[in-house]
Amino acid sequence: MDGLRAWRVYLLGGVLAMGVFVLLPDAIWRDALYALIGFSSVVAALVAGARLRGATGRIWALMGLGQFAAVLGDTLWLYYKHIALTDPFPSPADVLYLMEYPLVTAALLLLVRYRRSPADREAVLDGAIFVVGLALPYWVLLISPSIGGHDSAFGQVISLGYPLADVVLLAGLVRVLTASGVRAPAFHLLTSALVLLLLADVVFISTESGEILGLPLGDLPFLLSYLAWGAAALHPSAGDLLHAEPAAVPSFTTRRLVTLTAVVLLAPGTLAVQLLFGFELSAWAVTITSALLFILVVARMSGLLRRMQAQARRLDEIARTDMLTGLPNRRTLDAQIVREYEVSARTGGPLSLAMVDLDRFKLFNDTYGHQAGDRLLTGAATAWSLVLASDDMLARYGGEEFVLLMPGRGLDAAEHLLSALRLVTPERQTFSAGLALWDGRESPLELLHRADVALYDAKQNGRDRVARAAPAQVPGSRPESSASA
Would you state the pLDDT for residue 478? 46
297 occurs within a structural domain: no
Predicted pLDDT at 161: 85
Which domain CATH number covers 336? 3.30.70.270
Pair (87, 187) in one structural domain: yes
In a domain, 344, yes or no: yes
Asked, for residue 22, whether it belongs to a domain, the answer is yes
* Residue 287 resides in a domain: no
Residues of the chain with pLDDT under 70: 1-4, 116-120, 148-151, 206-216, 244-251, 473-485
Q: Quick check: is 399 in a domain?
A: yes
* Whole-number average pLDDT of the chain: 87
Report pLDDT digits (tens) over 350-367. Answer: 999 999 999 999 999 999
Which structural domain range is residue 76 located in? 3-117+180-247
State the pLDDT at residue 433. Answer: 96
Whether residue 468 contacts residue 387, with contact meaning beta carbons closer than 8 Å, is answered with no
Q: What is the 3-state secondary structure (H, E, C) of the chain?
A: CCHHHHHHHHHHHHHHHHHHHHHCCCCHHHHHHHHHHHHHHHHHHHHHHHHCCHHHHHHHHHHHHHHHHHHHHHHHHHHHHHCCCCCCCCCHHHHHHHHHHHHHHHHHHHHHHHHCCHHHHHHHHHHHHHHHHHHHHHHHHHHHHHCCCCCCHHHHHHHHHHHHHHHHHHHHHHHHHHCCCCCCHHHHHHHHHHHHHHHHHHHHHHHCCCCECCEHHHHHHHHHHHHHHHHHHHCHHHHHCCCCCCCCCCCCCHHHHHHHHHHHCHHHHHHHHHHHHCCCCCHHHHHHHHHHHHHHHHHHHHHHHHHHHHHHHHHHHHHHECCCCCCECHHHHHHHHHHHHHHHHHHCCCEEEEEEEECCHHHHHHHHCHHHHHHHHHHHHHHHHHHCCCCCEEEEEECCEEEEEEECCCHHHHHHHHHHHHHHCHHHCCEEEEEEECCCCCCHHHHHHHHHHHHHHHHHCCCCCEEECCCCCCCCCCCHHHCCC
Q: Which residues contact 50 (CB under 8 A, 6 or more apart)?
A: 57, 61
235 with 339, same domain: the answer is no
Give how far Cα 256 sits from Cα of 199, 251, 308, 406, Å. Answer: 21, 9, 18, 52
Is 187 found in the same domain as 62? yes
Told to judge if 340 belongs to the known catalytic residues of this protein, a careful annotator would answer no
Q: What is the pLDDT of residue 245?
A: 61
How far separated are the first and last CA of the chain, in Å rounded?
A: 85
Answer with the one of 199, 216, 247 that is the final residue of a domain: 247
pLDDT at 485: 32
Q: Tell whether 91 and 212 lie within a shared domain.
A: yes
Catalytic residue among 400, 415, 442, 480: 400
The tally of domains found in the chain comes to 2
Domain boundary among 212, 247, 282: 247
CA 19: distance to chain centroid?
Answer: 42
The pLDDT tens digits for 277-299 are: 888 888 999 999 999 999 999 99
Domain closes at, from 247, 265, 299: 247
In a domain, 474, yes or no: yes
- Give the pLDDT of residue 202: 80
Residue 289 falls inside a structural domain: no
Q: Are residues 230 and 369 in the same domain?
A: no
Indicate if 342 and 473 belong to the same structural domain: yes
Percent of the chain having pLDDT more than 70? 90
User: Is 424 contained in some domain?
Assistant: yes
| pTM beyond 0.85, yes or no | no
Residues 71 and 212 in one domain: yes
Residue 210: predicted pLDDT: 55
User: Which pLDDT score, from 0 to 100, does residue 212 have?
Assistant: 57
